[in-house]
Chains A and B, each alone.
Chain A
Amino acid sequence: MAPLVPSQEELQRRRIIGINAETVTNIPSTDFPGHWPGESHAWALDQFKDNFKVEYHRNDPYEASFSLIGLDAAVANAFRRILMAEIPTLAIEYVFIQNNTSVIQDEVLASRLGLIPLKGSVEGINWMHWFRKPSEDDDGPAPPGPSDFNTVVMHLVAECTKNPAAAADETDPRKLYHNAHVYAKDITFSPVGRQEQYFSGEGTIQPVNPDILIAKMRPGQKIDLEMHCIKGIGADHAKFSPVATASYRLMPDIKIERPIIGNDAKKFAKCFPKGVIALEPVTAEEAGRKGSGYEGHAGEQKAVVRDAFNDTVSRECLRHEEFQGKVKLGRIRDHFIFNVESTGQFESDVLFLEAVKVLKLKCARWKRGLTDLMA
């Protein structure tokens, strides 16, 4: 018996998650074999290929926005989670403080330094390996320790002095003294071994934003320290996360089920962000149609949905008596609007492709582990 194929209308109905004033409805996915009697819903690659769509909204180096349509939340969420926690980047891990007489304590200073996002040649970052930390329990051979392929060395040396050239009545400490503020741009990269070739010119390891304030000093105070940067992942510490934000939201869906006309239409439009609801005149044809609800309103303004994309689904329209039963809010279950903001090491679109690759690699590795179980 060939499986039943639900009508297009029915499929569309299943795609919508209902949003009421205080509750949500129709939440879990139902596209599994055995859920709907007679229907298949088995995994079919070519069917997925036909249905899956990507729409790009924005592609700046450090911020990208795109829609993935036709995906299950489980998979979309896996991509989002990998984006945040499992793509490796470089960050400061060890700080060796020779001298720090500033008012900011050593451990606080070290913590601040660790959180500074770094960038450098992507080729070089890919070339680098993981730095193996010495294990806490003393068994097995000691790891090899820092080398050019697993550690990047940087220095921060600054001393605050008086500026003799400053005007007598000067009150701005940045003019009154030299090095009163220590910024991320004061960090210098000291290449070792092959790092010379990989991280030269534009590809030098440096803070993404040179103007991050690290510490403030007064004359006589000094900071002199060395930093070791290693590769790590966001699951270990947030400083290794390659994204500032990686999030998705579901595409909003607004259905106007009964006419909203005149002043009500204006009020209705005000319940939504600009551009979501438009006002259009009721046509003579509509006004002439019996039972349309527009009878006798030709020429008046009616509310229509222009662009649900920008809606925030605030549910404001559900609070007003006059719109009761006239509007239905929802979200599209399989339309994920992603927003990926890179910290600067990688470009946002590359990051997403990287996340997909990591998921695939994880699958491949686990699958390889399965062969032991099969034997």
Chain B
Amino acid sequence: MPASVHSQDAQEQEHDQSMMDVEPENEPVNPILLDEKRIVVLPGSSDTAASFQFEGEGHTMGNALRYAIMKNPAVEFCGYTIPHPSDPKMHVRIQTNDSTTALEALEKGFNDLMDLCDVVTEKFTAARDQFNEENANKMEA
């Protein structure tokens, strides 16, 4: 399999090397993947009902996350919105029953989505390798 675009470990290592002659605070920043602490709980929230604001996020994450959270039986309501198209902010509203909290439901949503990604990668790689193999055999025959 060809090398990946985001080989994080390798990148971090190389990064340190290349940074030898540069100030440590001048680390290169990935505009989309870095910059943490951008989640804000909007006012008026309780344990079981809260709205979260994600900065710099859009429909890509919003809808996928909404799907993952809605798959949780303890969640009574989940929806996402982008309040204004020119404001790079995405809101997720979660309301749960008393067996859990909105924050836990959000975390479970992330976990489930990550598990899903692993399954997709695994099955996709297997299917591709099998397809490539079959094609190579066809070429030889």
Contact = CB atoms under 8 A, between A and B. Distances in A.
Interface in A353-375: 353-354, 356-370, 372-374
A106 B12 CA distance: 38
A369 B38 contact: yes
Interface in A46-103: 48-49, 52-56, 59, 66, 68, 71-72, 74-75, 77-79, 81-82, 85-88
Interface residues of A, number: 77
Contact of B41 (A88, A122, A373): A373
Interface string B121-138: 101111110111001000
A78 B31 contact: no
Contacts of B131: 56, 59
Contacts of B28: 129-132, 149-150
Nearest to A345: B5
A235 B7 CA distance: 21
A272 interface: no
B103 to A, nearest CB: 6
Interface stretch (A37-45, A166-174, A290-298): A37-45
B64 A359 contact: yes
A38 to B, nearest CB: 13
A127 B11 contact: yes
Interface in A139-187: 141, 143-144, 147-150
B2 A78 contact: no
A267 to B, nearest CB: 37
Interface of B: 1-8, 10-11, 14-15, 18, 22-23, 25-26, 28-34, 36-39, 41, 54, 57-61, 63-64, 66-68, 70-73, 75-76, 103, 106-107, 110-121, 123-128, 130-132, 135
Contact of A78 (B14, B29, B34, B61): B61
Contacts of B59: 77, 81
Closest 7 CB pairs of A and B: A56-B131, A43-B71, A129-B28, A54-B127, A74-B67, A33-B73, A78-B64
Interface in A100-139: 122-123, 125-127, 129-132
A236 interface: yes
B118 A123 contact: no
A42 B29 CA distance: 38
Contacts of A304: none
Given A122-B5, A144-B22, A358-B6, 19 more contacts: A32-B71, A54-B128, A56-B127, A66-B124, A74-B67, A77-B63, A78-B64, A87-B5, A123-B3, A130-B28, A233-B31, A350-B2, A360-B118, A363-B61, A363-B110, A366-B39, A366-B110, A369-B36, A370-B107
A81 B25 CA distance: 32
Contacts of B128: 54, 56, 59, 66, 349
10 contacts: A45-B119, A48-B119, A54-B124, A59-B131, A77-B59, A126-B5, A141-B23, A144-B22, A357-B117, A364-B110
Given A54-B127, A353-B124, A367-B110, A347 B2 contact: yes
Contact of B103 (A150, A366, A373): A373
B125 A353 contact: yes
A75 B67 contact: yes
A356 B33 contact: no
Contact of A361 (B6, B15, B23): B6
Nearest to A81: B60
B63 A358 contact: no
A372 B37 contact: yes
Contact of A40 (B68, B73, B76): B73
Given A81-B60, A350-B4, A66 B107 contact: no
A365 B29 CA distance: 14
Given A56-B131, A132-B26, A45 B32 contact: no
A275 interface: no
Contact of B70 (A32, A85, A361): A32
Nearest to B69: A43
B5 A129 contact: no
Contacts of B72: 33, 42-43
